Amino acid sequence: MPLLPRNWPLWLVVLFLITLPIGAGILWLVLTALYNQVHGLVPMGKLAPQNWRFLFEGSVGGRPSIWVALKNSAVFAAAVATLEVLIASMAAYAISRMKFPLRTPYLGMILTLHAFPAVSLLIAIYYILRLLGLFDTLIGVILVKASLDLPLGIWLMKGFFDQLSWDMEMAALVDGASRWTVFWRVALPLVRPGILALGTFALLSAWGEFILPFTFIVSAKSWTLALYMQSFMKEAFVDYGLMAAVGLFYALPVFLLFLFGQRYLLNIYSGGVKG
């Protein structure tokens, strides 16, 4: 607020207190992953390298190797982000910058889909994937994930394309470019902040995605890290140390991004990305 109250340190204490559970949760995860035993966030006993055995043993309890899951997750996240950025940018460019019949209704449809809760379609999508022969394939889940986030991406990118100068685009056409060339060589480089924002968002969202692979993937060889980790949750005896280590390993990219790109993250999520 423009006027800082004189008693702001008091408010800082309030803020600290309500945020405590988040800090405690993270700390709990880290300590549980590193130590044999933890009591009320105080580590007891020795460091516990055995919590990390999943990194070295080929398989824990008959599961596929974590490296397979890691590879699947990386492929999944990268493919989803690439597809989403590319396809959303193309569509957003057309909507923002080109004349075509039904342009306004198309934009209205995108906006409606943006608010529409896509999870309610899961049951039908299951059926469609089976019909297409894409059930239980990574490609199928990639397509579904990229599609469901597409309205958001188009909406976000349209906002960025709207800012571009018309003169510049006209100049490029007079210089001899086609719309396709303008898109690749002039427009896309100039909406880099948008691409980065959407890309980061898509990467994070796909990296964490659980429901879609859980529903549409059966074979262990296509497991992502989310499925790998979830498979431990169903066990009768829960090995918290091991799971915390797996969780920490899985969430590491997110923590790194959080540590080094806080301001950037805030900007992206404040920029109207869906909650």
Partner 1 sequence: MSRGTSVRLQNLTKRFGRVVAVRDLDLEVNPGELVAFLGPSGCGKTTTLLMIAGIYRPTAGHVYFGDRRVDPLHPRDRDVGMVFQSYALYPHLTLFENIAFPLRLKRVPGEEVKRRVKATAELLGIGGILERRPAQVSGGQQQRAALARALVKEPQVLLLDEPLSNLDAQIRLSARAEIRRLQRELGVTAILVTHDQAEALAMADRVAVFSMGELQQYATPEELYHRPKNTFVAGFVGSPPMNLIEGEFTGDGFRSGELRLPLRQAPLGRGWLGVRPEHLRIAGEGHPARVLVVEPLGREAIVIVELFGHRLQILVAEGEKPAPDAEVRVAFPARALHYFDANGRRIGPE
Partner 2 sequence: MRRYLTPFLFLGPASLLILLFFFTPVVATLLLSFTDLATTTFRHPSWVGLANYRDLFADPFLKKILANTARYVGLTLAFNVGMGLLLALVTSLVPENWGDPFRALWLLPRILPPVVYVFIWQGMLAEAPMGLVSDLLGVSKNWLVETPWVAVILANGFVGASFGMLIFTSAIRAIPRELFYAAAVDGATTLQTIRRVVIPMLAWPILFVTAYQTLSLLTSFEYILLLTDGGPGFYGTEVWSLHAYHLALSNYFGNVEFGLGAAMAAVLVVIGVVVSLFYLKIFNFRALVTEPKIEV
Residues at the interface with partner 1 (CB under 8 A): 165, 167-168, 170-178, 181, 186, 189-190
Alpha-carbon distance of 133 to 140, in angstroms, equals 9
- Residue 201 corresponds to which tokens in the numbers above? 């968002």
Q: Give whichever of 139 and 171 is closer to partner 1, judged by the CB atom.
A: 171
Q: Which of 90, 186, 196, 220 binds partner 2 (CB under 8 A)?
A: 90
Instruction: Enumerate long-range contacts of 65-68, CB under 8 Å, 24 or more apart.
Output: 66/225, 66/228, 66/246, 66/249, 68/221, 68/223
Query: Which span sits near partner 2 by CB under 8 A: 52-60, 61-69, 189-197, 223-231?
Result: 223-231
Q: Which of 139, 168, 173, 256 binds partner 2 (CB under 8 A)?
A: 173
Work out whether 177 is an interface residue with partner 2 (CB under 8 A): no
Alpha-carbon distance of 16 to 110, in angstroms, equals 40
Closest approach, Cβ 18 to partner 2, in A, equals 7
- Residue 116 corresponds to which tokens in the numbers above? 């529409």
Site string for partner 2, 11-30 (x = CB under 8 A): xx-xx--xx-xxxxxx-xx-
Closest approach, Cβ 101 to partner 1, in A, equals 15
Query: Which span sits near partner 2 by CB under 8 A: 52-60, 61-69, 188-196, 243-251?
Result: 243-251
Q: Confirm if 216 and 126 have CB atoms less than 8 A apart.
A: yes
Comparing C-alpha atoms, which of 149, 155, 260, 157 is closest to residue 203?
149
Residue 7 three-state SS: coil
Work out whether 226 is an interface residue with partner 2 (CB under 8 A): yes
Q: Give whichever of 124 and 189 is closer to partner 2, judged by the CB atom.
A: 124
CA–centroid distance for 101 within its chain:
34
Residue 47 three-state SS: strand
Residue 95 three-state SS: helix
Q: 105 contacts which partner out of partner 1, partner 2, none, CB within 5 to 8 A by kind?
A: none
- What's phi and psi for 39, nearest 5 deg? -120, 115
Alpha-carbon distance of 216 to 275, in angstroms, equals 24
Closest approach, Cβ 76 to partner 2, in A, equals 12
Q: Which of 67, 180, 184, 260 binds partner 2 (CB under 8 A)?
A: 180
Evaluated on CA atoms 248, 250, 256, 259, the torsion sign reads: negative
Q: Which of 78, 181, 190, 269 binds partner 2 (CB under 8 A)?
A: 269
Query: Which span sits near partner 2 by CB under 8 A: 49-57, 60-68, 116-124, 191-199?
Result: 116-124
Cβ neighbourhood burial of 252 (10 Å; 0-12, 13-18, 19+): exposed
Q: 237 contacts which partner out of partner 2, partner 1, none, CB within 5 to 8 A by kind?
A: none
Q: 177 contacts which partner out of partner 1, partner 2, none, CB within 5 to 8 A by kind?
A: partner 1
Q: 22 contacts which partner out of partner 2, partner 1, none, CB within 5 to 8 A by kind?
A: partner 2
Could you say which residues in the range 32-61 bind partner 2, by CB under 8 A?
Answer: 32, 37-41, 44
